[in-house]
Chains A and B, each alone.
Chain A
Amino acid sequence: MKKYTLAVLVENKSGVLAKVAGLFSKRGYNIDSLAVGVTEDPEISRMTIVVQGDDQVLEQVIKQFNKIIDVIKVSDIEEDDTVERELALIKVTADMTTRAEIIQIANIFRARIVDVARNSITVEVTGDESKIQAIEKLLRQFGIKEMARTGKIALVRGPKKV
């Protein structure tokens, strides 16, 4: 099983996300992550989808995507040189004895402290998947109360557009 990153441009209309998600569930393909937001053109949304499978699964996914009327373009950008980001908010258990160490870890990762309470600290971190996994692993020893991740968004480097 390999991971593939797909950039999908769709019409910004209701029901498109449901159709895309339905395509995966109908065929039993697993979505690793799916992030969606509007683009520079308010009528078009961009989905970044990470899917697991083999080459045949990828081929079918792309072909099935292309069948959806509201899908404008599908590109496999796995092999491209890309800028990739995920955002995570991690709420960590913290008291007087651990707070300093947590802040130190956040600084090392260029993460930001976005909320502090008596028993917790919430850290905002952006980066690629491995960076987020790394900070998560380090913070886990203190006890993670809650975590939210956005899923990956990606753009191909340089002037090329997909």
Chain B
Amino acid sequence: MTIGSLEKVTGARALIKGLEEEDVTTMFGYPGAALLHIYDELYDSNLRHVLVRHEQAAVHAADGYARVTGKTGVCMATSGPGATNLVTGIATAYMDSIPIVALTGQVPHSIIGNDSFQEADITGITLPITKHRYLVPEAKDLPRIVKEAFHIASTGRQGPVLIDMPKDVINGEFECNSIETVKLQGYKPTYRGNAQQIKKAAEEIANSCMPIIYAGGGVISSNASAELAELAETLMAPVTTTLMGISSIPAEHPLNLGMLGMHGSKYANYSVQGSDLIIAIGARFDDRVTGKLQSFAPNAKIIHIDIDPAEISKNVPAHIPIVGDAKIVLKSLIKHVKQCNSETWLEKINEWKREYPLTYEQGKSIKPQFVIEQISEACSNAIIVTEVGQHQMWAAQFFKYKEPRTFITSGGLGTMGYGFPAAIGAKVGRPDKTVINIAGDGSFQMNSRELATAVQNDIPVVSVILNNGYLGMVRQWQELFYDRRYSHTCIKGSVDFVKLAEAYGALGLRVEKPSEVRPAIKEAIASGRPSVIDITIECEENVSPMVPAGAAINEFIGPEGNK
């Protein structure tokens, strides 16, 4: 569908048509005065609009939708407070390179800068947390800007783009020509890796007998999971993933070591530290991954594959940088490599695996790890979304992910309150999948009002609250580093989650014994309704293993220490 030649349209109409042209079928938003014309157009349009209860949820939902579908997520908020409520979600998407287009209303051009009612300089505010942003000058620019915004958000290193639309732009009429193709002089992402560099990488790989692949979120966003597995199997090299890279390779793949870094498995961290070659793919050497930079993988040469040249040698110097899309680069790299002489190395890693497994002891009280395992066994094909905190790490460690785009979490910004609205977006994007939001009692309260959104729009997301009565991860740090002085981290008895769920018209279930966990999960899923399962877990359980901030990633603390 194209906009007809010289048809007279309003900015609002042009926006809706532009969204339809970009194959947008769903958006998340909250109306306001500045957006009235757009909402009036939506009334007659085929676009699905999910009305949230707070704009922050709109942007997280668009983000969750984007992560599970691979499409660009769209959210909309009115001017001023509506727009500023998007900021946390935009920053979340920016840190994790998630393609979203955020639409905001703005006061008319004639009163911009006058501190007008519901005015905020949202393009200024989001300058450091968007890939690009527009303050639309005139209605006639809107079709071009919509096209550019979707192009920028979804290509190269993906990310959020904001379009701020003054009311006179939204309401203004213009004669609309068909939209030309996107022309951006300064924007030309590199997709193909340099052939010479790929050959050099292959030579380096041939010389390695202790290689490790370190895969990040870039593998998932470029849909390179099959190539990742093929490379690992061809080389017989183990794979460790970042938090964002989880689900890029099946949890049960024999070469998968799970997550590395602060809460990575010991065997993953020992393998990284002991390796002679790291093949980093779509990962950015975040501080939660590397620990103390000077001690990171001291004997390893580094091949760094990334679509964003600015990531290369930002934190860790790369010996062989390859700028390009993970899928395309891996495809050509695979042609040049063969099996490494890694037998002894893999045997050593298996020894570490046997010696330091991820475990816990289930007693009378419910252990959070047990809950995650129960969910994993009950519905292994589910999409898991998380909030941020201890439960997030347990979900990263103990769920057996099978396919990409099934683990949705705020990795970079670590946004509490992300999970539930993102789960709503995920379920809208993949209605065929069971979507489970694994939450802590702290995080869930940050956006629990979205139960109303789930119920009103009939979006059956299951929230499993691992309720320990604490802001668990902060409490863990207070236990370990502040002599158990639990300053303002106890939130016991703050709300009855079952009654809360029922108040919103959702299903609420309480679980207090290990034997009740599995039936409750099954009941919630079978109900087909938005559900909340409040599970009382061991209140001072810690995430283990743990590397303290600033230490090398093979320096663990905790009860078993650094064996």
Would you call A19 an interface residue if the criterion is a C-beta within 8 Å of the partner chain's C-beta atoms? yes
Q: Given known contacts A69-B184, A71-B186, A73-B186, is B132 in contact with A59 (CB within 8 Å)?
A: no
| A69-B123 in contact (CB<8A) | no
A interface footprint on B135-147 (CB within 8 Å = 1, 0 otherwise): 1000000000000
Q: Nearest Cβ distance between residue A159 and chain B, in whole angstroms?
A: 22
Other-chain residue from B131, B184, B308, B313 in contact with A59 (beta carbon distance below 8 A): B313
| B314-A69 in contact (CB<8A) | no
| B123-A15 in contact (CB<8A) | yes
Would you call B127 an interface residue if the criterion is a C-beta within 8 Å of the partner chain's C-beta atoms? yes
Residues 51-87 (chain A) with a chain B CB within 8 angstroms: 56, 59-60, 63-64, 66-73
For B152, list chain A residues within 8 Å (CB): 69
| B314-A72 in contact (CB<8A) | no
| A22-B308 in contact (CB<8A) | no
How far apart are the CA atoms of A66 and B124 in the complex, in Å? 20
Other-chain residue from A14, A22, A67, A69 in contact with B310 (beta carbon distance below 8 A): A67
Q: Nearest Cβ distance between residue A40 and chain B, in whole angstroms?
A: 15
Other-chain residue from A15, A66, A68, A70 in contact with B309 (beta carbon distance below 8 A): A66
| B186-A68 in contact (CB<8A) | yes
A interface footprint on B113-140 (CB within 8 Å = 1, 0 otherwise): 0000000000110011001110100000
How far apart are the CA atoms of A72 and B308 in the complex, in Å? 16
For A56, list chain B residues within 8 Å (CB): 313
Number of A-B contacts (CB under 8 A): 42
For A67, list chain B residues within 8 Å (CB): 157, 308, 310
Would you call B43 an interface residue if the criterion is a C-beta within 8 Å of the partner chain's C-beta atoms? no
Other-chain residue from A15, A26, A60, A69 in contact with B186 (beta carbon distance below 8 A): A69
Other-chain residue from A19, A59, A64, A69 in contact with B187 (beta carbon distance below 8 A): A69
| B310-A60 in contact (CB<8A) | yes
For B184, list chain A residues within 8 Å (CB): 69
Other-chain residue from B132, B308, B314 in contact with A60 (beta carbon distance below 8 A): B314
Would you call A11 an interface residue if the criterion is a C-beta within 8 Å of the partner chain's C-beta atoms? yes
For A64, list chain B residues within 8 Å (CB): 310
Q: Given known contacts A59-B313, A63-B309, is B185 in contact with A72 (CB within 8 Å)?
A: yes
A interface footprint on B300-325 (CB within 8 Å = 1, 0 otherwise): 00000000111011100000000000
| A18-B186 in contact (CB<8A) | no
For B314, list chain A residues within 8 Å (CB): 60, 63
How far apart are the CA atoms of A18 and B157 in the complex, in Å? 22
| A69-B127 in contact (CB<8A) | no
How far apart are the CA atoms of A51 and B189 in the complex, in Å? 26
Q: Which residue of B lies closest to A73 (CB)?
A: B186
Q: Which residue of B lies closest to A21 (CB)?
A: B127
For A15, list chain B residues within 8 Å (CB): 123-124, 127, 133, 135
How far apart are the CA atoms of A119 and B62 in the complex, in Å? 66
Q: Given known contacts A72-B185, A73-B186, is B127 in contact with A18 (CB within 8 Å)?
A: yes
How far apart are the CA atoms of A140 and B421 in the complex, in Å? 64
For A22, list chain B residues within 8 Å (CB): 127-128
Q: Which residue of A lies closest to B308 (CB)?
A: A67
Q: Which residue of A lies closest to B132 (CB)?
A: A69
How far apart are the CA atoms of A78 and B87 in the complex, in Å? 39
| B310-A72 in contact (CB<8A) | no
Q: Given known contacts A15-B135, A66-B309, A67-B310, is B186 in contact with A72 (CB within 8 Å)?
A: yes
Q: Which residue of A lies closest to B317 (CB)?
A: A56
Q: Given known contacts A22-B128, A69-B131, A69-B152, is B186 in contact with A11 (CB within 8 Å)?
A: yes
| B186-A70 in contact (CB<8A) | yes
For A73, list chain B residues within 8 Å (CB): 186
How far apart are the CA atoms of A103 and B156 in the complex, in Å? 58
For B313, list chain A residues within 8 Å (CB): 56, 59
Other-chain residue from A19, A60, A63, A71 in contact with B127 (beta carbon distance below 8 A): A19
For B131, list chain A residues within 8 Å (CB): 69
Q: Given known contacts A22-B127, A22-B128, A73-B186, is B310 in contact with A66 (CB within 8 Å)?
A: yes
How far apart are the CA atoms of A70 and B186 in the complex, in Å? 6
Q: Nearest Cβ distance between residue A27 and chain B, in whole angstroms?
A: 10
Q: Which residue of A lies closest to B187 (CB)?
A: A69
Other-chain residue from A14, A26, A69 in contact with B128 (beta carbon distance below 8 A): A26
Q: List 29 A-B contacts (CB under 8 A).
A: A10-B186, A11-B185, A11-B186, A14-B135, A15-B123, A15-B124, A15-B133, A15-B135, A18-B124, A18-B127, A22-B127, A59-B313, A60-B310, A63-B309, A63-B310, A63-B314, A64-B310, A66-B186, A66-B310, A67-B157, A67-B308, A69-B131, A69-B132, A69-B152, A69-B186, A69-B187, A70-B186, A72-B185, A73-B186
**Contact surface of A with B, Cβ cutoff 8 Å:** 10-11, 14-15, 18-19, 22, 26, 56, 59-60, 63-64, 66-73
**Contact surface of B with A, Cβ cutoff 8 Å:** 123-124, 127-128, 131-133, 135, 152, 157, 184-187, 308-310, 312-314
Name the 6 nearest CB pairs between A and B, nearest first. A63-B310, A72-B186, A69-B132, A72-B185, A71-B186, A69-B187
4 new A-B contacts, CB < 8 A, other than A14-B135, A26-B128, A66-B309, are A10-B186, A11-B186, A66-B186, A71-B186
